[in-house]
Amino acid sequence: MSLTDVKIKQAKPREKLYKISDERGLYLEVAPSGGKWWRFKYRIDGKEKRLSLGVYPDVGLKVARERRDDNRKLVADGVDPSTHRKAQKLARAGANASSFEVVAREWFEKQKTVWADSHADKIIRRLERDVFPWLGKRPIADIKPMEVLTVLQRIETRVVETAHRAQQNCGQVFRYAVATGRAERDITADLKGALTPWREEHFASITDPEKIGPLLRDLYAYKGTFEVQCCLRMAPHVFVRPAELRLAEWREFDLADGRWDIPGERMKMKQPHIVPLSAQVVEILRELHPLTGDGVFVFRGRNPRSAISDNTVNKALRTMGYSTKDDITGHGFRAMARTVLDEVLEFRVDWIEHQLAHMVRDPNGRAYNRTAFLEGRQQMMQAWSDYLDQLRVLPEDV
């Protein structure tokens, strides 16, 4: 006799597992714990086999019968339902393992180890918000250029720059897929010229020595808090990235040895960095130490337990009349040092690049360690500070 919903509900657990038959191979298995499982019994190649069709009540009687009928058709065609299910599972796993989102996240996890946290956050947010909803589930090898272009054009209507950056990230993902055998080529190369042109704007900077002098005098005349005054005075001398400077901690400095060791977790490339300190920088820090030396951060903010904000330096520059769009930003001190150290003071480019914490490689393609050229960089940093002092002093004061 076939089952009914009433009979299934009334089936109580017993001391041992038992089953209640429906028809055409379908039956319900009732466990001592009270659980109820649908099973399908069939024969293939002369062997009796069983297949699970789900758990009651999640799978009701009607659905269980539909699943039974689907599997009976497979048996009639000479296909083992169990083998068929495993093949489908493997196919889904293979497709999922090669989906754009899976490949992209795999690429991201590898790359983020050498990125600053803020940079990594921007990239993954961009992918999650603007790309994954439309391309994420697609097998990466099946995606066509027009599909990517449609996604990019959707972004372009909002921000052209973001669309270009998303195209760059997609290209990186496709190239990673090629390298790992999951795609044949980077299809974003076909989209060259398809988006509205956009040119990346570099950080505003002052590189003319005749304009650097007045800027330095303005920095030393700034009337803000003493912490910000010291930060502004120190910035052009050390030319580190703004976040590396404002988040500086006293424990990182050895003033006696004239050295600042920035830990890797605060660097863009996730590698520890050494900044040789000139006598001028050591003097600035010794003067500031009585005010903030009992805390963690060198440039302490309004909250004694935190550093100055990420906009403090640029806001101070605007207060002094410098446009952070056309004149100078906190990041612009790096371009200033890079240009003048090379073109005016004529220091070795590899020393400069290493001091900027850029990736510098030896003739064999290996990255130099953080102590490379340290003696030469110490001489360079002192010469740079001496040169800045010369520019800062008015001719009539000499």
| Residue 305, phi then psi, degrees to nearest 5 | -95, 5
d(CA 187, CA 100): 13
Nearest to residue 130, comparing CAs of 162, 91, 88?
162
Active site residue 241: yes
Active site residue 325: no
Residue with tokens 């410098």: 322
DSSP string, 319-335: HTT--TTTT--TTHHHH
Question: Which pair of tokens denotes residue 1?
Answer: 């006799």
Neighbours of 252 (CB within 10 A): 17
| Active-site residue (options: 268, 270, 289, 370) | 268
Q: Report DSSP state, residue 142.
A: G
At residue 52, the 3 state secondary structure works out as: strand
What are the strands of the beta sheet with 273-276, ordered from one edge?
253-254, 259-262, 273-276
d(CA 297, CA 264): 17
Angle between helices 100-111 and 117-130 (to 10 degrees): 170
| Active-site residue (options: 331, 338, 354, 377) | 331
Neighbours of 305 (CB within 10 A): 9
Active site residue 233: no
| Active-site residue (options: 334, 338, 377, 392) | 334
Nearest to residue 40, comparing CAs of 69, 77, 17?
69
DSSP string, 260-312: EEE-GGGSTTSS-EEEEPPHHHHHHHHHHHHHHTTSSBSSB-SSTTSBPPTTH
Name the β-bridge partners of 38: 28, 54
| Active-site residue (options: 241, 300, 354, 392) | 241
Question: Which pair of tokens denotes residue 55?
Answer: 């758990």
| Active-site residue (options: 50, 112, 368, 370) | 368
d(CA 172, CA 184): 14
Active site residue 322: no
d(CA 151, CA 210): 48
Active site residue 368: yes
List active site positions.
Answer: 241, 268, 331, 334, 358, 368
